[in-house]
Amino acid sequence: MPNIYLRLPTSRCQFFRHRDPKFTLAKDEPVVFSNYSHEQFIMRNSLISAPAKSSRIDIGCFSQQQWCNMLSGKHPAGGKVVMRRDAGSWLTFQEVQQLNGRLTDGKGSHDDYLCIRLPSEVEVVDTVYPVKPTFTLDTHGMRALAVSLNNDFKRSLVEWALSTFDFCTSHGRVIARSHNAMLERYLMRYGIEVSEEEKDVLRRIIGRWFRTEHCFFKSYSCVDMQYKDSRDKPNRIDEVQWL
């Protein structure tokens, strides 16, 4: 079955490749989404046949045929070899830029391409067609899919932070675990390697979510909590663990 190769930040690609704790996908192994998932819905409604020739291909997403051409050092549309490279090695974003005639100005240095399994068939005006290796996503589809996957990553990050909070305040004890330790454990779990600048971005994602969706987490201070209520049930904490 054919795949597509979607441009995403490297951290997002690493997240999806490590999502199964028992099996890590290689870069050329496709991420497979359920037939009933939002991602499959986006792809089914955005699939197009890649143009045979184009001087200005959108480097946000490539069909399997286009990717294979670039692996051989050719332009995505094919033709003569323009760059000698090992066809068995993964394409870097800089190589993709060069093969598409773009200037390598350093932008996108933290980007990668995620291999994604396409639906087996697509319906167009009540007619079902098998999906071929030449199929890719239109501009709207590649952007919608990138947004969906990015949101999935953000939700996972926030859920990890919430689960850490629940764990550290459960079983009648308080575990003092720093935000940095929480984030490092998340990055280790999903095999994500990021710079300090990118870590700051992840911290802001968590902070922004708490401020907008769960502002009550930081709205109240210990002073606000000093007034007793007859319904309060005190629970003794005998131990504080530092991790």
Output the pLDDT for position 5: 98
Mean pLDDT (whole number) for 182-188: 92
Assess whether 136 and 170 both reside in one domain: no
pLDDT at 110: 85
Mean pLDDT of the chain: 84
Q: Are residues 202 and 180 in the same domain?
A: yes
Is residue 159 over pLDDT 70?
yes
Residues 145 and 154: their CA atoms lie apart, in Å, by 14
User: What residues have CB less than 8 Å from 183, skipping those under 6 apart?
Assistant: 199, 202, 203
Same domain, 184 and 132: no
Are residues 48 and 167 part of one domain?
no
Q: Determine the pLDDT at residue 221.
A: 44
Has residue 228 got a pLDDT over 60?
no
pLDDT at 147 over 60: yes
What is the mean pLDDT of the segment spanning 63-80? 94
Give the whole-angstrom CA distance, residue 167 versus residue 209. Answer: 19
- 19, 105: one domain: yes
Residue 11 has pLDDT above 90, yes or no: yes
| pLDDT level of residue 219 (50, 70, 90 thresholds) | very low
Pairing mode of beta strands 240-242, 121-124: unpaired
Could you tell me what percent of the chain has a pLDDT over 70? 81
**Same domain, yes or no, for 112 and 186?**
no
Grade residue 189 by pLDDT with cuts at 50, 70 and 90: very high
Q: Is residue 238 part of a domain?
A: no
Q: Does the pLDDT of residue 51 top 80, yes or no? A: no
* Same-domain pairing of 165 and 133: no
Q: Which domain holds residue 29?
A: 3-149
Question: According to the model, what pLDDT value does residue 116 have?
Answer: 98
Note the pLDDT of residue 102: 77
Query: Residue 16 has what pLDDT?
Result: 97
Considering only residues 13 and 222, tell me which one the structure prediction assigns the higher pLDDT: 13
Q: Is residue 7 domain-shared with residue 127, that is, in the same domain? A: yes
Q: Are residues 82 and 142 in the same domain?
A: yes
Higher pLDDT, 103 or 5: 5
More confident residue, 21 or 226: 21
The whole model's pTM is what? 0.83
Return the pLDDT at 224: 46
* Cα distance between residue 158 and residue 211, in whole Å: 12
Residues 108 and 159 in one domain: no
**Number of compact structural domains in the chain:** 2
Which segments within 27-179 are labelled E, that is strand?
47-49, 61-63, 74-75, 78-81, 111-117, 121-124, 127-130, 135-137, 174-176
Asked if residue 80 is part of any domain, the answer here is: yes
240 belongs to a structural domain: no
**Residue whose structure tokens are 């890590």:** 24
Arithmetic mean of pLDDT, 68-96:
92
pLDDT at 80 > cutoff 80: yes
